[in-house]
């Protein structure tokens, strides 16, 4: 037990760890207070570390993934006394078994809710949930459209949060397949500057960029008209609304993407010019930040409502580079504050696995605003933000994830 607690303390972010030295003595003092209890070890450790030292360690700061194998908890999934799977990463196990669970639920639901390769709405009304026979009594399944690339299917999923995500992306795909969009008409509307800027996109081809922008535009139109449809009449109405607005919305998205790509190109050139070895950690972080903002598929994952914010985040990298050579230590101190909350956020996503939802995604944008507040305060933030607010938001998402989920409608 002492080895485990000591390893967990040593794995804390530097700014927390240095408040707990000597770590061995802190571990021993904490262990004396720990008692067997039905609660997560990290929650108990946070409580007892605070009692012993007065230091508040957020639960998300504990890094169990970096523990040596002999100290890590092994999870086992058991069905009727038979071990189905084992592993150190609970989220990975959940993801591994999700496909099997979806298949079992879909088979139990019958042929109407078990379809593949559809290119139009051919499956009647989809219920919000279905009760299915189960060896233990009954189980609840959540039917949804699923995106299959060149078509859509219907599957019964294991949770309402999975249903919400799948229903959105599945409806988006079906609209993309059924609502025409002329790439020739789109390109005819672009001026020379726009066409040049769009060649800088990280996508593998102009067609891939247009598809990304079209998906983003469909998302915006879907949101404006109430979200996914659940029956043939609702889908026909939604498809008509999307058809009426798609071309103009794609043009609007492309204009925003042009501004993003122009800003990103400037930042990439400036990063290439940073050659001082002492600035390498900051430069590498800024480059990774750029890659997280602008990548193949970024238009859809960002969403139309945040593309203009991305321009501000990119300008924030520029302001950071303006200051970097003058005070690299200050930059590193601020980077450490960002790294702490980002580590907690990555841990949250790992724990949630396939259950990560829009509320979890919002935290990503809180971290972007934190970067602006720390590195480029003069640009302003969209809302008040601090590491403490972000850690509190992470804790709130975890708490909600443990509560029973509501249906997708």
Instruction: Identify the residue with better confidence: 402 or 131.
Output: 131
Both structure tokens of 325: 């050579």
Q: Are 270 and 244 contacting, i.e. CB atoms less than 8 angstroms apart? A: no
The rounded distance, in Å, linking the Cα atoms of 397 and 59 is 13
Among the listed residues 359, 361, 355, 363, the one whose alpha carbon sits nearest the alpha carbon of residue 402 = 355
* HEC string for 162-181: HHHHHHHHHHHHHHHHHCCC
Question: Looking at 14-23, 309-318, 385-394, which range is the least confident one?
Answer: 14-23
Residue 228 phi, psi (nearest 5): -60, 155
pLDDT at residue 70 in the model: 78
Respond yes or no on whether the N-terminal peptide bond of residue 22 is cis (omega within 30° of 0): yes
DSSP letter (8 states) at residue 133: E
Dig out the tokens for 38 from the structure.
């039905």
Return left, alpha or beta for 303; rule: phi > 0 is left, psi -120 to 50 is alpha, else beta: left
Helix (H/G/I), strand (E/B), else coil: 122: coil
Distance in angstroms (rounded) separating the CA atoms of residues 293 and 308? 12
Could you report the per-residue pLDDT of 145-158, keeping only the tens digit for each? 999 999 999 998 88
Q: Is the pLDDT of residue 308 over 70?
A: yes
Tell me which residue of 257, 284, 108, 119 sits closest to 194, measured CA to CA. 257
Domain locations along the chain: 2-71, 76-174, 191-402
H or E stretch including 79? strand 75-79
Strand segments, DSSP code E, in 148-255 are 152-157
Give pLDDT, residue 349. Answer: 86
pLDDT of 88 over the 80 cut:
no
For residue 22, give both structure tokens: 């000597």
Closest CA to 298 of 261, 346, 249, 324: 261
Query: Rounded to two decimals, what is the model's pTM?
Result: 0.74
Q: How confident is the model at residue 405 (pLDDT cuts 50, 70, 90)?
A: very low
- What's the rounded mean pLDDT across residues 339-346? 90
């Amino acid at each position: 037990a002492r080895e485990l607690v000591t390893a967990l303390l040593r794995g804390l972010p530097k700014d927390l760890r240095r408040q707990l030295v000597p770590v061995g003595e802190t571990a021993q003092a904490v262990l004396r207070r720990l008692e067997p209890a039905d609660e997560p070890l990290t929650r108990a450790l946070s409580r007892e570390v605070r009692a012993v030292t007065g230091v508040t360690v957020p639960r998300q700061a504990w890094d169990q993934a970096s523990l040596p194998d002999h100290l890590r908890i092994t999870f086992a999934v058991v069905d009727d006394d038979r071990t189905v799977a084992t592993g150190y990463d609970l989220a990975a196990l959940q993801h591994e078994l999700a496909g099997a669970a979806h298949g079992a639920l879909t088979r139990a639901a019958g042929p109407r809710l078990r379809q593949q390769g559809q290119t139009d709405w051919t499956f009647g009304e989809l219920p919000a949930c279905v009760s299915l026979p189960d060896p233990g009594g009954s189980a609840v399944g959540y039917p949804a459209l699923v995106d299959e690339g060149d078509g859509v299917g219907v599957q019964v999923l294991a949770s309402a949060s999975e249903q919400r995500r799948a229903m959105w992306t599945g409806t988006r795909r079906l609209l993309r397949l059924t609502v025409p969009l002329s790439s020739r008409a789109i390109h005819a509307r672009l001026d020379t500057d726009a066409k040049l800027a769009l060649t800088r996109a990280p996508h593998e081809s102009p067609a891939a960029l247009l598809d990304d922008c079209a998906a983003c535009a469909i998302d915006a139109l879907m949101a404006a008209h109430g979200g996914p449809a659940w029956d043939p009449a609702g889908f026909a109405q939604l498809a008509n609304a999307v058809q009426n607005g798609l071309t103009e919305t794609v043009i609007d998205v492309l204009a925003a993407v042009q501004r993003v790509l122009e800003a990103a190109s400037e930042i990439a050139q400036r990063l290439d010019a940073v050659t001082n070895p002492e600035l390498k950690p900051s430069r590498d972080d800024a480059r990774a930040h750029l890659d997280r903002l602008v990548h193949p598929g970024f238009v859809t994952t960002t969403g139309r409502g945040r593309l203009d914010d991305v321009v501000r985040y990119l300008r924030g990298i520029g302001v950071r580079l303006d200051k970097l050579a003058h005070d690299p230590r200050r930059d590193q101190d601020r980077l450490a504050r960002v790294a702490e909350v980002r580590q907690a956020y990555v841990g949250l996503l790992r724990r949630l696995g396939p259950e990560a939802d829009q509320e979890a995604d919002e935290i990503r944008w809180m971290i972007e605003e934190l970067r602006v507040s720390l590195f480029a305060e003069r640009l302003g933030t969209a809302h008040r933000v601090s590491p403490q607010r972000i850690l509190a938001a992470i804790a709130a998402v975890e708490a909600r994830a443990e509560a029973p989920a509501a249906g997708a409608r």
